[in-house]
Every structure is written in structure tokens, then in C-alpha cells.
A and B are shown apart, each in its own frame.
Chain A
Amino acid sequence: MSSYYGRPVLKEPVWQPEIPWYFFTGGLAGASGVLSLVARLSGNETLARRSLYVGAAADLVSPALLVSDLGRPERFLNMFRVFKVTSPMSVGSWILGVSGGASTTAALLEATGRLKPVKYAAELVSALSGAPLATYTATLVSDTAIPVWHEARKELPFLFGSSAVASAGAAAAIVVPPAEAGPARRLALGGVVVENVLFEMMEKRLGMLGEPYTKGEAGKYKKLAMGCTVGGAALLGTLGRRSRVAAAAGGALVLAGEAALRWSVFKAGFQSARDPKYTVDPQRERVSRQSDGRSRTQPGSSDASV
């Protein structure tokens, strides 16, 4: 027994289903802001306008999810009491505040056709804050004692980032006619390829700590994510180039897959906290590596247990 009556050493997170959904909507919002601005600059107005609306919608849903998850939702404004660079949640709240404010402002001005210069400024802010909005959530989970999150800190921002790009591309491919949605389709395809390769690489590199990503609910969500994203991307890249219906179906599949990917990472964290071996074994290994060559001064057996 590597723990006290097999009990967990860590507490499982207390976060509710709102949080993985927010990882999804936050990523969608952030990458849509970037997509919209780049489309605007490239002269693809339809793609620019509709991605802006998608991003603003996701930016409206995101804070609602976060407030709903709080133990004291009426105190959500306390998130803006301070700005703490040591707290990814504090930094993220400010990023979401800025990004959400900018994207909804831009969307409103776009819809009403007023204040063009303000709209362009808002779009720029939305794009600049959109990219970090899509990746900070990875830093947020990595900055915990949860083994499969902290040890995956090198890959998670890229995994979340590529998932966000795929989400924005897929959503745009649904709402934009295929003739103008070429870049959106390519982003969905590219994002799906990168995220699936990254996920496999991450799992391999983590070794024993990669297990929770393949087991239980996390494993099921991972399989679902892979199936939906690859299937959806294939549909988008073939029939979706001409058929509006096929593009919508492919885009929806990719979006479902991206949500499943966030759920997989979320659930893996709980699973690794629940089983003390994922906490104790790597730490024990680290200790024995450090004490190698140093003679043990303490008497007694080191592996004694009940």
C-alpha cells in the first residue's frame, strides 16, 4: 500500500461540468477573435463578420459558465479585486474580461454599422487577447498539484491552442458558405491533426502518468474526441468543400470532438488525484534519485506499511 488506507493524498478538484465547457467556449471565443481579424485583413468579409459573431457569442456564454461554477456566484466580482500574476485564474479573468468586452463591442458595432474606427480597435483587442484566452486555461490546470496536469505543462497549452483553432475553424465552416470558408476548413483540419498528434506524444512522454488519459471516463472522452475530430475533419475536407450540409455536419462533429477533448483532460485530472499512486510514486522516485549516492542515516525499514 503506497498510501494511508489507499486514500488519495490530494483532493480532487471541486470544479463542476461548467469548467470543461468553459475551456471549450473560451478556446472557441479566443481563436474566433484571431480568425475574424485575419479574415478581415485578407479581405474575406463574410468569414470575418461571422467569426466575430461566433466569438462574441462564445464570449457571452463563458462568464456565465464561470459564475455558475463559483461556490458563491454573487461574489464573482471578487475576481477583479486584484491582479495576481501568480494566479492563472486571476490573469485569466482579466483576459476574459478584456477579450469578452472587446469582441462583444465589435460584434455590436458590426451589427449596427456604427463607429467604424472603434469597431476596428475592438477587433484588434479581441484578436490580441483572444490567443492568450485560448491557452491560459492550460496554464491554469497545469499550475496545480494534479500530477497529469502539472507534468503535462509543456504540451497542454499547445493542445488547448490547437483545439481552439480547430473549434474556431469548424464553427466558421458551419456558418460561412463553402466558397468563402476555405481558410476555416484548413484551420479545422490543421488543428485536428496537430491536437491528435500532440495528445499521443504527450501521453507517451508522460509514461505512467499518461495512463489516466487512457483509462475510465477520460479514456472514453479521448476516443470520442479522436473519432469525432478526425471524422469531422475528413468530412469538411472532402464533401464539405462544396456541400453546405456536409460542411455543417463536419463542423458540428469537430466541435463535438473538441468539447470531448476538454472533457478528457478534465476527467484525467480527477482520476489521477483519486489514485494515490500517481501522486506518491513519481515523488518517491524523485526522492530516491536525489538521495542516490548519499548514505541513509536513518535506521529502520523504508517500505514498512500495514
Chain B
Amino acid sequence: MAGLAEPTGTPAAWPDTYGDDAKERVGFFTDTSVCIGCKACEVACKEWNLVPEDGLVWTGESYDNTSELGANTWRHVAFIEQNEPLHVEPGGEEQVDALRWLMSSDVCKHCTHAACLDVCPTGSLFRTEYGTVVVQQDICNGCGYCVPACPFGVLDKRHIPRHSADPPAEILGLQLGKKEDGRVWKCTLCYDRLKGGHEPACAKACPTDSIQFGPLDELRERADKRLEKLQAENWNGARLYGRDPDDGVGGFGAFFLLLDEPEVYGLPPDPVVTTRDLPEMWATAAVAAGAIVLGVVAGFLGGSR
């Protein structure tokens, strides 16, 4: 378990395992202060990655009919209408009829210490040479462990027919395969595009540079400067989310500049990689296993009757 969730800000065993093939760690900086809610990122992602349709519904939740990330949604633009001013002068008067519209394009965080990757029993989820986290679809067997392991609710099992002319195998009435794709899907940070030297589709399509792609160190510097500027201009609630390598997941590979608390955007305020408690949890399970043996032995102390 060496290297498990150490607060180093570097993923475990990365990039050493890649030797000469290792690349600089890349990621996204999503600056929500310039997001205009055009959803070009959602569309570009779907098109490039051939992500299937995931229901066409009107939610009535501002301009958001996508609702959340999932197997078939790898970018999700959130819309929040608030009776809040966009700027707050220190000591200034409170605005009564203030109004602001927050928009933010959410995505897989590509955590430094990724719970999904840790718990994947098949090794399908892996850390790429770019430091990103990707599901190998030819290996995933749909065990679903990564789904509740993710502290952001990013991953999900894909629920669509595999092929209409491809009925599920049936054994004793059990529909093996359950007529569905059955595997887990999520953002790959456009692994294929990175390999070809291109930036991810969402960042490429973003018309305002709200989604910025690049080496993570560079993005962090850029984000710090941006935050400084917004704070100097008295933007209401400006903060970075996931930039800090000391947080519960060792920092995000895809982090954000938000204008309110994370939970307002549907993000957890203090996410942790639960595998960091695994040494303690294994110890507890071992003690409990010992207790079973002792308990059973104790049951025989009174003889057979």
C-alpha cells in the first residue's frame, strides 16, 4: 500500500512506472467567472467521444436540462440564478434587487488520489502517462465499485441497449448482460486527442476560455493570478476549488474557480479519497475476523449439548 494517498500532490507510482514515456501532468482549469453557459463543451464532448444521448427532458431548473455528470454526460453546465450581487464593495451598501447568474462546466476531476482507480478490481481504471484517470473499456466488467467510491458522483454505469439485434444470453432465466452496455464510463480528458497532440474537445470548443487546458502547474499559477485579480475587483465569493494539493484527494487534475460555495454547484465542500483510511479499515476487518474465530471457539466451551 506504499504511496497510498500520501499528501504529496503527486499520484501514487506516477510517473515512474512510465519511464521515458512519462509526460507532463495535464488538466483543466475551469474559470466559471467567464462561462456564458453556451454548452459548446457538452456538445463537443458528445461528438468527439461518441457519447450516447441520455434523455431529452425539460427540468425547469434554469437553463440546465442536463442535470448531472454520468455515464453519458462527461461535461455538465450548471446554471444557478441568485439574488446576489456580482460584486461586493467592502463596506458598501447592500443591493436589494441584485441578481446574478452563475454558470459552471463540471467535469471529472482526475484526482491526484483517485478513489475510483484505487477500488477498481480489474485494473480497468488506470493512470495514464499524462497523469489523468481513464477507464479501459475492453477490461471493465461492470462491477460498479467505482460508482459509489467517487466523492463527486462522476462515474456511472451505462444503461443503453448494446445492439438491438444482439439479445442477451439467457441461462436459467437470468438475463446475462441485462440487455445493456453494462460498463462504467466517464471523461477520459480526451486521451486519444492528447496522444495526437491536441487539446481536449471541450477546451477546444469553449469560446470564452472558461475551460483552459494545459500542464497542471501552469494552470495553477494562472488560476492564482486570476483569483487575485477577481478579488481585487471585489467579485462576490470568488474562490478556487480543487487547486490545493493538500486537500482530501491530493488536489484535482481538473480544478475550478467558483463564485460561491461548492455545494451550490452540486460539488462536495470537502471531498476525500476514502482509500486513505484503508490501512485502518483492513486492520479492523482483520481484528473482526480474529474475533469470529475466538467467538466460535468460545461457543464450544460448554460442550456439545
Contacts and interface: CB of A to CB of B under 8 A. Distances in A.
A78 B184 CA distance: 15
B234 interface: yes
Interface stretch (B28-36, B136-144, B192-200): B136-144
A136 B292 contact: no
B14 to A, nearest CB: 14
B91 to A, nearest CB: 11
Majority secondary structure of chain A interface residues (helix, strand, loop or mixed)? helix
A9 B305 contact: no
Interface string A107-143: 0000000000000000000010011101110111011
Interface residues of A, number: 100
Contact of B157 (A71, A90, A302): A71
A22 interface: no
Interface string B82-113: 10100010100000000000000000000000
B274 interface: yes
A160 B288 contact: yes
A38 B300 contact: yes
A187 B122 contact: no
B182 A165 contact: no
A153 B284 CA distance: 8
A11 interface: yes
B171 to A, nearest CB: 9
B119 A89 contact: yes
Contacts of B272: 145
A297 to B, nearest CB: 8
Interface stretch (B17-25, B42-50, B205-213, B258-266): B258-266
Contacts of B270: 283-284, 286-287
A259 interface: no
B9 interface: no
B82 A131 contact: no
A45 B67 CA distance: 61
B128 interface: no
A135 B264 CA distance: 38
B1 to A, nearest CB: 6
Contacts of B239: 298
Given A72-B183, A286-B270, A300 B284 contact: no
A7 B68 contact: yes
A84 interface: yes
A74 B177 contact: yes
A296 B236 CA distance: 13
A186 interface: yes
Nearest to A169: B299
Contacts of B287: 157
A179 B305 CA distance: 5
Interface in B258-305: 259-261, 263-272, 274-275, 277-278, 280-282, 284-293, 295-300, 302-305
Nearest to A289: B270
Interface string A186-218: 110011001000000000000000000000000
Contacts of A74: 169, 176-177
B142 A70 contact: yes
Contact of B266 (A4, A38, A127, A157): A4
Given A44-B304, A81-B122, A187-B299, A143 B174 contact: no
Interface string B109-121: 0000001001111
B178 to A, nearest CB: 7
Contact of A47 (B153, B154, B275, B304): B304
A3 B144 contact: no
Interface string A283-306: 110110000000001111111111
B145 interface: yes
Interface stretch (A12-20, A52-60, A230-238): A12-20
Chain B CB count within 10 A is highest, among A39, A44, A78, for A78
Contacts of B269: 280, 283-284, 287
A15 B144 contact: yes
Contacts of A5: 59, 61, 64, 67, 266
A139 B300 contact: no
A304 B260 contact: yes
Contacts of B259: 300
B119 A143 contact: yes
A153 B277 contact: yes
Contact of A142 (B1, B140, B184, B281): B281
Nearest to A2: B263
A86 B88 contact: no
Given A131-B292, A160-B288, A304-B260, A93 B177 contact: no
23 contacts: A3-B263, A5-B266, A10-B152, A10-B268, A34-B292, A47-B304, A68-B176, A70-B142, A71-B157, A73-B177, A84-B121, A132-B289, A135-B289, A150-B274, A153-B277, A153-B281, A182-B303, A187-B299, A287-B270, A299-B234, A300-B84, A305-B80, A305-B82
Given A38-B299, A298-B231, A301-B84, 8 more contacts: A4-B266, A34-B293, A42-B300, A71-B141, A71-B180, A78-B122, A135-B285, A280-B269
Closest 9 CB pairs of A and B: A71-B142, A71-B182, A4-B266, A300-B237, A75-B141, A157-B288, A131-B289, A90-B121, A89-B121
Interface of A: 2-5, 7-15, 30-31, 34-35, 38-39, 42, 44, 47, 68-76, 78-79, 81-82, 84-90, 93, 127, 130-132, 134-136, 138-140, 142-146, 149-150, 153-154, 157-158, 160-162, 164-165, 168-169, 179-180, 182-184, 186-187, 190-191, 194, 269, 273, 276, 279-280, 283-284, 286-287, 297-306
